[in-house]
Structure 1
Amino acid sequence: MLRFTGSALHTVLAEAGINGCRLILVKDHGVYFMSEIGENKPDGGGRQHVVYAAGCDPYVDDFDSWWNRAQDELGGDDFVEYFDIDDPVLASLYGTAGSLVVEATSTHLYLAAEVGPTTKS
């Protein structure tokens, strides 16, 4: 199971929502989500807003660690998979501090939202 958390997740979700496009799960140099349409880095070095799975960020995690985790969770091949931003699981994360969880089998990818209870003010 891979978990995507924090403000980076919500920034990527918001970017896809604003642009009315799909969310892309990528497994190549790490495992990450990004908006199909979005702002690029000023230096042209890729997308400005990306959220890496916990333990699969090549800029934070040791190569052998993230590479083995990505292999264990998603298999050996690099890929991209597109998700509709209006998917009920993704939509349930709007306005929350929740996390997105991805689980894979040999034939399917499953998304789940982990949203904690809301507190009354």
Structure 2
Amino acid sequence: MPLRFKGADLRPVLAEAVANRSRVILAKDQGVYFLAEGGERRPEDGRLKRLAYAVGCNPDVDPFDNWWELSRAELGGDDFGEFFDPNERVFTRILNSEDDLELSATATHLSFKPVPPTPDGH
């Protein structure tokens, strides 16, 4: 089952990476999310200000067993970080549209495609 990233959540992360001329990172550890490399941090706790979690994979709002199983089913059991150029065509499309991003994975490839947003966000 592909993972979906809401465009409304992902656009600020992509914009930050473009503005800072940095890469965007897909991370799988405590959830599955995108962040801008060297992104701005919150002064009160040092956490990154802008993270875009996959729908259902946010440990701050989704029950542990749910997000953990969903992330493991699509991306395997190991934690990782993959770096991408935010100026790649698919990210530029997300940045300049209302689309969401869908992520599919095989044992050797990650695939991204823009998809129309859904009313319920899933």
Structure-1-length-normalised TM-score: 0.90
Deviation at 1:74, TM superposition (A): 0.2
Q: Deviations over 1:74-112 (max 9, x none)?
A: 000000001111111111122211111111000111111
What SS does the corresponding residue of 1:3 show, helix, strand or coil?
strand
Residue 70, structure 1, aligned to residue 71, structure 2: yes
* Whole-angstrom distance in 2 between the partners of 1:75 and 1:67: 10
Structure 2 segments unaligned to the other structure (5+ residues)? 118-122
Quick one: percent identity of the two aligned structures? 46
Deviation at 1:27, TM superposition (A): 0.2
What SS does the corresponding residue of 1:73 show, helix, strand or coil?
helix
Structure 1 stretch displaced more, 37-46 or 74-83 = 37-46
State how 1:38-57 maps to structure 2 within 5 Å: 38-57=39-58
Q: Which residue of 2 aligns with 1:103?
A: 104
Is 2:7–2:94's contact at 8 Å kept on the other side of the alignment? Answer: no
Deviation at 1:46, TM superposition (A): 1.8
* Whole-angstrom distance in 2 between the partners of 1:115 and 1:88: 16
Is 1:24–1:33's contact at 8 Å kept on the other side of the alignment? Answer: yes
* Whole-angstrom distance in 1 between the partners of 2:73 and 2:9: 24
Residue 82, structure 1, aligned to residue 79, structure 2: no
Q: Larger relative contact order (C-alpha < 8 A, sep ≥ 6)?
A: 2
What SS does the corresponding residue of 1:61 show, helix, strand or coil?
coil
TM superposition outliers: structure 1 runs of 4+ over 4 Å: none
Report the aligned-residue RMSD: 1.3
* Whole-angstrom distance in 1 between the partners of 2:56 and 2:68: 9
